[in-house]
Amino acid sequence: MIKLSAFISGLIFGLGLLLAGMANPAKVLAFLDVVGAWDPSLALVMGGAIAVAVIPLNWARKNKQSLLGVPMQLPMKRELDGRSQGASATPDVRCCPCQRRTHISAPRSGSPSW
């Protein structure tokens, strides 16, 4: 059953990408080219996806098991370690898991690695 749901999920995901026009690299590039002839479609793809997924994913966050009884395997890492924020040009970001709050400050020279 979990194998079937995995396959169906992938299939729906792929059909969504095709319908959204996101199988075409030129359309993705047109979203990233904000000073050229800008195509904002990708923002609507993300908006549509988040609007549908926000309730199920928050339900998942609060539950230890899926509806089919397998353990939830959500990423547990909460801290912003700088890796997912990319290279040196990003601002100095730290997250306090205890306060569930993120501090963002300007990059400093010689700041410790994160």
Which residues within the stretch 31-60 sit at the binding site for another protein (CB under 8 A)?
32-42, 44-54, 56-60
Nearest residue to 113 (alpha-carbon basis) of 88, 89, 79, 84: 88
Pick from 18, 105, 107, 111 the residue near another protein by CB under 8 A: 18
> What's the min distance (Å) between Cβ of 36 and another protein?
6
Query: How far apart are the C-alpha atoms of 10 and 12, rounded to whole Å?
Result: 6
Helix (H) / strand (E) containing 101: strand 101-105
Choice between 55 and 108, CB closer to another protein: 55
| Minimum gap (Å) between residue 98 Cβ and another protein | 13
User: Interaction with another protein in 75-114: which residues (CB under 8 A)?
Assistant: 75, 77-80, 83-87, 89-90, 93, 95, 100, 102
**The residue count for the chain:** 114
Say how far apart CA 57 and CA 61 lie, in whole Å: 6
Q: From the centroid of its chain, how far is CA 85?
A: 12
Gap between the terminal Cα atoms of the chain:
41
Pick 100 or 108: Cβ nearer another protein: 100
CB of 97 to another protein, least distance (A): 9
Contact call for residue 26 and another protein (CB under 8 A): yes
